[in-house]
Structure 1
Amino acid sequence: MTSPGDLVIDPSIRSRLQQGHPWVYRNHLIGGERLRTGQWVRARCGGLTVYGLYDAQSPIGLRIYSRHDFPNQQWFRERVWEAWELRAPIRASGQTTAYRWIYGEGDYLPGLVVDRYGDYAVIQTYADSIQTIVPIVANTLRAVDPELRGVVQRPRQNDDDDQAQPILLWGEWPPRNLVVQENGLFFQVDMLYGQKTGLFLDQRENRRTLEGMVAGASVLNCFAYTGGFSLYALRGDAVEVVSCDVGHGLAEATATNIALNHLPADRHRFVTDDCFALLDHYARQGRTFDVVILDPPSFARTRSSQHAAMRAYVRLNALGLRCVTPGGLLVTASCTAQIGPEQFRELLGEAAAQAHRRMQIIHEAGHPLDHPVPAGFPEGRYLKYVIARVQTLV
C-alpha cells in the first residue's frame, strides 16, 4: 500500500458518520489537494477517525471502509466471508444460482459489487478510486469459495470509453451463453455484455411474489428485458403475456428463456417498441390487461434530474393505470435512488388522479436478502416495488 494521506472532515456531519454512513462529499473535505485518486487516507471528524479511499474526480470524495484502522487482507476476507454467509439461504434452496454476492455499501465494501452466476463472479466498480481494492477482492473471492472457476470485471456502467472491455482477473472466461437458475427457472445470461451483469437480480423475489397472483390473467410486461417477469407469469399460469422492450435482440433472448423452461410460447408475444408509446397506443384503443407490469430503468442518475424523473414516473404510471382492467393489478417499480419510498407512493397517487383511477396498495417490497442496506445509509435502498389493485372512480 502506498503511503496513506490525511484529511479533515467538516464536523457538521459527524453524527451521520457515527451512524455508519459511508460517504463524504467533496464539499465536506478539507486538505485533499495533494491526494491521489485511489489513495488510502485517514480522516478526522472532531473526535472520530475513519479510514477510506480518496477520489479526486467523484462528487463523493471519500468512501469509508473502517473506523478502526486501514483495511488489510484479513479485513477484506472477513467482509467477503460475512457476505458469503448472509447468502447461505439462497444457495441452500438449490433452485437459485444467480445472486449478488457483495452489495457495495450494504456489505461494507463501498463502491464495489460482485454478482455470482453459476461458478463465475463478475465485479463492477462505481468510481475510479475503487480499482485499488479490485485485485484483493478478486483473490479473496477465490479463497472463500474454492469452487469458483473465474472472476471477471465489467467496465464501469457510466464508462464512455467505447474500447472498454471486460477483463479476466482470474481463472477462465464464462461462456457467453451461460445458463443459471432463479427460483427454479432457467435464464441464459451474458455476464460480459448484457445489461447490469446479465440479470436484474434485485427483482428476483418480487418476480416470485407476482407469480402467485396471475393465474388466468392477461399480463402486459413493460421494460421486459429478457423476460424475467414474463417467465414467472407464464409459470404462474397466465393465459396471455405480452412483453415490451425497445432493446435489440431482447425478443430472441426472451424466446430462448421460454424454450429453456418449456413454457407455453403460444401464450407469449414480444413487442419491440418504446414502452411509453405502446402504453399510450393501448390506452387510446381501450386495450386493457388484468396485470400491467412497469419496471423501467432509472430515470435519474443525479439529484439534478430528480424533478424530471418524478414527472416521468407520474406519466408512465398514469398510462399504465389506464391499461389495467378494473379490478386488475398494477405492478410498478422504481430503481431511482433519488426518489424514496414515500415519494414514490405520492407519485402513484398523483398518477391515479390523472388516470381517474383508484389504487389500493396490497403489497410493497424493496430489496431481497442479497441487497442488504445498513441502517445508517438510507440511500442504499433504491428499489421500490408496489402491487396495487386498480378500480374506476366511484
Structure 2
Amino acid sequence: MRSHAKLKGQMPTPMTQKKKVWRLKSGADRRFRAGHPWIYSNELLESPKGIAPGEEIELQDAGGKFLAHGYGNPSSLIAFRTVTRDSTNSEPLSAAALAQTFTNAKALRILAGLKDASHRLCFGEADRLPGLIIDRYLLSGGEQLFAVQAHTAGMDRSLPNIYKALEALAIAGDAWDRTGIVLRNDINIRKLEGLEPEPARTVRPLAGIDLTKARILILGALSGTIEFETDLLEGQKTGFFLDQGSNIQLATRKLSNLLPEKPKEPLKILDLCCYVGQWSTQLTHAFRQRGLQVDVTLVDASAAALERATKNVESQGAQSKVMKANVLDGLTGLPDRSFDLIICDPPALIKGRKDLHAGAHAYLQLNTQVFRLIRAGGAVVSCSCSALFEEAHFQQVLAKAANRNHRRAQWIARGSQGPDHPMLTEFPEGQYLKCWISGVDC
C-alpha cells in the first residue's frame, strides 16, 4: 500500500496573497525579451525593497504589459528570476504546477537516454526553476533518492511544494514506497541570497540504507550502468559529479585505442582531483574490456574520497595507489613522462570575478604539471567547471602549459556538460563545464 504520510520538515503552504507587480524601466526589457531569465535591480522602475526575499512577483514592461511570473529578492543584485512567461500560469510554484514542470524535465532525461541511470532531474533556469537543483539517484537495490538544493530565497520558500511535487512524480511512477529525499542546502552560494548554509538533512528516509555509503547506478561509458559507492549526505555537490557523464563517454570513444607505452605493461592512469574515482573507474572498465591491465594513481585532498575511489576503481579490476595531496603543490615528486593517460578535473578554481587572475594562474600551474607528467604518445583530458572562466581563456592556459614543457598537444575532442544539465543559448551563465582531450607528442 502506498504511503502518503507527511514529509519530515514539510510546512503548511502559506495562504495565497495578491501578487506584487514590478515594472521595468523604459528600454530595459530588450535582453529579457530575447529570452534571458534575470532582471537586475537597476533595471526596475522602482526600488525592489518592501517584499520578502523569494516572494512571488508579476513582471511588467514600462507600459504595464505582462512579461513574466517569477520571484524577487530585494537583497540580491539579481532582483527577479523568471519561472514562466505564460500569463495564464499565475501560480507556477504551486505543487501542481511544479509536478508538471518535473514531469516535463523527466521527459527530457528519458529522451537523453538517462531513464535507468542516476541523473540531474532539475537544472535551475534550464528547467524553468531558477535556483533549484534536484538530482535523482538510482540505487543498486531499486530505490531512488531525490537530492534537493535550494540556492535562492524563492526556491527555499517553495520547498514544501517541491516535496509535494516530487511525491506526485514518484506516485505516478509507482515508486513512492521506494523513494527518499534529502535536502542538501549545505552550500555557500546561498549567502548571495541572504540565506545561510544548513547541515544536510533527510526529509524522507530510505529504510535500511546508509546514505553515507550509498551504491548508485551511473550510466556506463560503454553500455549499461556501473555501480559506485558515494556519500549522498555529506559528499561533494549532492554526492556525485553527474555533469561529466557525456565527457567520460567521449573520452572513452576517442581514446579506445590507447595502449601502454611498453607491451605487456599495465596502462598507467593518473586521476587528479579524483573524488570517488568516476573517471578512472569508467575508463578502467573500458580498458579491461579490451584485455588491458590498468594501474591507477588516485590523487585527492580528501582521505574519505580516496577510500571510496579505491573501492570503485578496484571493483573494475584496476590496481590502485593513492596520494593524499593538494594538486597545486603536491605533484612535484612524481617523475616526468610517467603516465599514459592523465585526467585533470579540479573543482572550480574561480568562484567569483575577483578570483579570475589567481584562478587562471592555478589552472596554468596544474596543467603545467599535467604536461610534465604525460609520456610521449599519451593522452590528456583537462577540464574546468568554472563558469566565469571563458573557454577561450581555458584554451590559452592549455596551450601555455603544453608550451612550457615543450610538448605538442593535438586536441582531438572537446566536451561540455551532460544532457541532464541542458543549456539555453539565451542564458550563457548556465554554460560552465569545459573538457578538452588531446594526444601528446604523437
- What TM-score do you get using the length of structure 1 for normalisation? 0.90
Compare 70-79 and 201-210 and name the one that shifted more: 70-79
For 1:314 and 1:61, locate their aligned partners in 2 and report how far apart those are by CA, in whole Å.
36
Match of 2:163 in 1: 138
1:53-108 deviation digits (Å, cap 9, x = unpaired): 112333322111112333343432321111011111466664x2x11011111111
For 1:13 and 1:63, locate their aligned partners in 2 and report how far apart those are by CA, in whole Å.
15
For 2:298 and 2:112, locate their aligned partners in 1 and report how far apart those are by CA, in whole Å.
28
- Indicate whether 1:56 and 2:74 are aligned: yes
> Out of 228, 236, 241, which is 1:195 matched to?
236
Aligned residues: 385
> Out of 270, 288, 295, which is 1:220 matched to?
270
Match of 1:8 in 2: 23
1:1-394, aligned counterparts within 5 Å?
Answer: 1-29=16-44, 30-46=46-62, 47=65, 49-69=67-87, 70-72=90-92, 73=94, 74-89=96-111, 94=116, 96=117, 98-118=118-138, 119-146=144-171, 147-148=175-176, 149-158=179-188, 164-170=198-204, 172=206, 175-176=210-211, 177-182=213-218, 183=220, 184-212=225-253, 213=255, 214=258, 216=260, 217-237=267-287, 239-259=294-314, 261=315, 263-265=316-318, 267-282=319-334, 285-391=335-441
Q: Is the 8 A contact 1:102 1:113 kept in 2?
A: yes
Once superposed, what is the RMSD of the aligned Cα atoms?
Answer: 2.4
The amino acid that maps onto 2:182 is V
Runs of 4+ with deviation above 6 angstroms: 160-163
1:194-229 deviation digits (Å, cap 9, x = unpaired): 111111000112223333425543111100001111
Match of 2:10 in 1: none
**Displacement of 1:179:** 0.9
1:101-131 deviation digits (Å, cap 9, x = unpaired): 1111111110001001121101101123321
Identity %: 26
For 2:82 and 2:99, locate their aligned partners in 1 and report how far apart those are by CA, in whole Å.
17
For 1:218 and 1:152, locate their aligned partners in 2 and report how far apart those are by CA, in whole Å.
38
Structure 2, unaligned stretches of length 5 or more? 1-15, 139-143, 261-266, 288-292
Q: Is the 8 A contact 2:340 2:375 kept in 1?
A: yes
Secondary structure (helix, strand or coil) at the match of 1:291 reads: strand
Q: Is the 8 A contact 2:56 2:154 kept in 1?
A: no
Compare 15-24 and 119-128 and name the one that shifted more: 15-24
For 1:333 and 1:58, locate their aligned partners in 2 and report how far apart those are by CA, in whole Å.
30
Secondary structure (helix, strand or coil) at the match of 1:181 reads: strand
1:7-44 deviation digits (Å, cap 9, x = unpaired): 23344542221122112233333321212101111222
Structure 1, unaligned stretches of length 5 or more? none
